[in-house]
Structure 1
């Protein structure tokens, strides 16, 4: 029975790893892909950024939904990124920020 369970669970355990690391992709979008870079304006320890223009995300600790809305539509002086990032990229950066902020 144990071998059957292991074999049955294998795809569920391996396929996400084959698809890539979503947090790593979110970090790449935060630090490199978004233009201007999120790290230019925001402080986020995990990303190694110390921006002083936008809020400190480690202190703010936003939810993925809050980040997604801000990235998509912009907020304050932050421009919207809906035209330059795909919905999947916005979701990835939102999950990343929400997952690492304050750590």
Structure 2
């Protein structure tokens, strides 16, 4: 396998590891917010909105810290891959929000 394919596989592994760790950490951190049962007579929109916004803000903060750290640590020839992982992480955030409320 060429060197670029191996580096992509390492990137995918570390990306998935980052996504799982951040999701589990934020789910634990935000476990007290929001309402589990969505089918209630009371209004559940506001508490769940707070949980969703807090998740988005903390996720973007974690992602920005990771981008700064990785861009300083990886060699210059691999920095071109970084933005594709960032865009993939933003798409993954939508999936994580759906999982967070299920």
TM-score norm. by structure 1 comes to: 0.37
Report which of the two has the higher share of helix.
Answer: 2
TM-score norm. by structure 2 comes to: 0.37
